Structure 1
Amino acid sequence: KQLNPTPQQIEQEQLPESLINLFMNNPDELLDYLEYAVKQYPKEHLVSTVYDTILELLLQKYSTSTTEDKKEQDRLSHQIITLLQDSKIGIDVTRAMVACQKYNFKAGVICLYDKAKLYQQILQYQMKNKESDKIVSTCLKYGDEDPQLWIQALSYFSKLKRADGCRKEIQQILKYIDEKDLLSPLLVIQTLSNNESTSLDLLKDYLIRKLHNEQTQIEKDQSEIRRFRQESELFVEKIKQLETDPILCQDPKCSACKMDLDIPCIHFFCEHSFHEHCAYAVESATSSEITYECPLCSGDNRKWLDLINMQRVSKDIHETFHRKLDDQQDKFGVIAEFLGRRLFDKVI
């Protein structure tokens, strides 16, 4: 009767959780019933207690299974992990974590930490259980999201006393730390100095690689400095020429419409020439005088002028802020005023 209840019976009798107590001395039968109920009963009637009970029963069964029956252990382990990973069921995560730790089901603990994106806890748990073989794998899996895992792993292996000095693991970690530039060489050396079995030979490849990269960067920076210096000299020379030498405008055609130039025409310092009606006319804000801008260069010119003006304004704002901060007794009020006026917003 209870295996195929009507919707009214399910609602009135609170199935299947109301029958759990009847199976307390028969865990195998209870597990069979709950697994059947999960498949047959409407999802909206299945509370978290049902799934929590299934999880605990599976964990009990897993903990009592013998290591000889590896196939059964693998089946139960897969079933538990599938249950924990199912996002559609309302399993109590805290209770599930307690149950997994109670029955020492390490894969379940890792799964729950992973589900909650608690990668630091995964690494700490593996360190606590001395699962050295899994630590590097964890860093490889989650290290891109949390690079600090690599630093913690290096610290762990630097303190781990092992005959081989954790050579393989440390080399893997150093390679990643070097690629992502997570630690300075000095901090790496200080960290590894905790391990008496760590030799300089272990650091040789890392230090050589680091020094080579630093040398390459120095050469690149020096090349950039030389390039900027040459460009600066060219700009200075060009400015000097504009100030002292005449400019020859030899293009007989308008730079805008490509028609032959005729009078009146306008020539600019950028060596572009236009008919008067093809150039941009700009009225002065303070007088009736009309000036002209090169249509081809005005966009870039305005951009640079705006940047220069913004730098001047920013400088004035900071000077005013510090002056007011020194003069006023209410320092917090000054800061609040400037923040409220959004005067410190980053200029993009």
Structure 2
Amino acid sequence: MYEDILRFWMDKHNASSSESSAPTEVVQALVRYGPTHPHLYGLVLRFLTSTPELLTRHQADVEKIPEHVEKERIIPPLGVVQILSRNGVASVGLVKDWLMGRIKEAREEMQIQLINSYQLETNAKLKQVAELEDPMHAKVFSVTRCSQCSEQLDLPSVHFMCNHLYY
């Protein structure tokens, strides 16, 4: 039903381009109904970038929508770029700063994840080294078959610290 309200104002604008209040009504309806119906943001963004005149008059609104969409995690950044690229009116430069911020955040998040994985791996290796250096706890090899050919291990056999055994 809320989408129908937006479409009513959009159709009213398309029927008579001189109707200047219709796009404003669309934005007001988005403010009113958008928080409970997030799918409306993409629809309004597409409408406001449908003609150069609309984009010029509502550029501030168009710049606010991606910020809100990102904050509420409604549409991914690539989805916003796809919406803007559908009609050829809006350029990526319109949301360049916003996109650069998203890319920077993604890079920082990836770096944090890499650092955490490296720290976990380092801690595991340090624990393994500590276990190998401890003279009170000898490493016991209980495998009786070769890791390569699965035959019975007889002396001499080679025992690797990775628990593989060969003869």
25, 28, 42: which is aligned to 1:151? 42
Q: What is the aligned partner in structure 2 of residue 222 from structure 1?
A: 114
Q: What is the aligned partner in structure 2 of residue 160 from structure 1?
A: 51
Q: Distance in 2 between matches of 1:165 and 1:205?
A: 20
Deviation at 1:233, TM superposition (A): 2.7
Q: What is the aligned partner in structure 1 of residue 31 from structure 2?
A: 140
Q: Is the 8 A contact 1:126 1:134 kept in 2?
A: yes
Tell me the secondary structure at the aligned position of residue 217 of structure 1: helix
Q: What is the aligned partner in structure 1 of residue 79 from structure 2?
A: 187
Tell me the secondary structure at the aligned position of residue 174 of structure 1: helix
Q: Is the 8 A contact 1:136 1:173 kept in 2?
A: no
Highest CA radius of gyration, 1 or 2? 1
Q: Which runs of 5+ in 1 are unaligned?
A: 1-117, 247-348
Matched, 1:122 2:5: yes
Q: What is the aligned partner in structure 1 of residue 104 from structure 2?
A: 212
Q: Distance in 2 between matches of 1:126 and 1:189?
A: 24
**Equivalenced residues, count:** 129
Q: Which protein has greater RCO, CA pairs closer than 8 Å, 6+ apart?
A: 2
Q: In percent, how many aligned pairs have the same letter?
A: 19
1:143-198 C-alpha deviation (Å, 9 max, x unpaired) = 23221111111122222341617422210111112223333333322321234442
TM-score w.r.t. structure 2 length? Answer: 0.60
Q: Distance in 2 between matches of 1:183 and 1:155?
A: 13
Tell me the secondary structure at the aligned position of residue 181 of structure 1: coil
Q: Which runs of 5+ in 2 are unaligned?
A: 14-21, 139-167
TM-score w.r.t. structure 1 length? Answer: 0.32
In structure 1, give the amino acid aligned to 2:43: Q
Tell me the secondary structure at the aligned position of residue 100 of structure 2: helix
Q: Is the 8 A contact 1:161 1:195 kept in 2?
A: no
Tell me the secondary structure at the aligned position of residue 56 of structure 2: coil
Q: Is the 8 A contact 2:42 2:83 kept in 1?
A: no
Q: What is the aligned partner in structure 2 of residue 173 from structure 1?
A: 65
